[in-house]
Amino acid sequence: MPRFVDPAARRREIVEAVKRIVAADGLARVSLREVAAEAGLVVGSVRHYFETAEDLRVHAFESVADDVVRRVEDADDVVAQLCQLLPLDVERAVDLCVFSAFRFAARTDESLLEVADSAHARIAAAVGRSVLAVLPEMAPHELVAEAERLLATAEGLSLHALVHGRWLDAELCVAVVRAQADTLGRVPIA
C-alpha cells in the first residue's frame, strides 16, 4: 500500500535539513544532493518538491524569513521585537544564522533579493509601529531613522553574539537592547 506523504510536512523537513547544513557549513553546501542526504531522502524526493537548487534556496529563505518576521511581528513591544533578532536560544540562533547567511547571499544572488527586501520591510514596519506607539508625535522621516537605528543595533549585536557567543551571553544582549530602547526619541536624527 502506498504511503501518504504530507507535502507541507515534507517541505518543512527539507527546509530543516537546509537549515542544519547552512548553520554548520554555510550556503555553499546547499545542493539537492546534500539536502537530500541530510534529510535522509533520495534526490528524486527533493526534486519532487523543488525542481532546482535555486528553487530550494528561495523556499528555504522564505520559510526562515517568515519565521523570523512572525516572531518580531508577534512581540509586544520594541524590546521584545529586537530580542527576536538576537540568538538568545538555540532556535533563534539557528534561524538567525541561516537568515543572515541568506541575506548576505542576496547581495549577489538576485533570486534571493525579493525575499530579503520583503523581510526587512516587514521587520522595519513592525518596529516602526512599536516606536510610534511610544512616540506618536514622531515625524515619518524620524520614525524611519529611529526604527533603522534600533534594527542596526539589534542586527549588529546578533552577528556579534553569533560570532562571540561564549562571552556575549543572552543577559548582556538583552541589556544592550534595553539600553538602546531607553534612548528612543533622544538620539538626534539629522
- What is the Cβ-side half-sphere exposure of residue 69, based on CA atoms within 13 angstroms? 18
58-181 folds as: Tetracycline Repressor; domain 2 (1.10.357)
pTM of the model: 0.90
- What is the Cβ-side half-sphere exposure of residue 88, based on CA atoms within 13 angstroms? 18
Gap between the Cα atoms of 137 and 17, Å rounded = 46
**Tens-level pLDDT at each residue, the chain (190 residues):** 557 778 899 999 999 999 999 999 999 999 999 999 999 999 999 999 999 999 999 999 999 999 999 999 999 999 999 999 999 999 999 999 999 999 999 999 999 999 999 999 999 999 999 999 999 999 999 999 999 999 999 999 999 999 887 778 889 999 999 999 998 877 665 5
Gap between the Cα atoms of 189 and 186, Å rounded = 9
Q: In the structure grid, which three cell numbers stand for residue 156, read together?
A: 549588529
> What percentage of the chain's residues is helix, strand, coil (to nearest 5)?
75, 0, 25
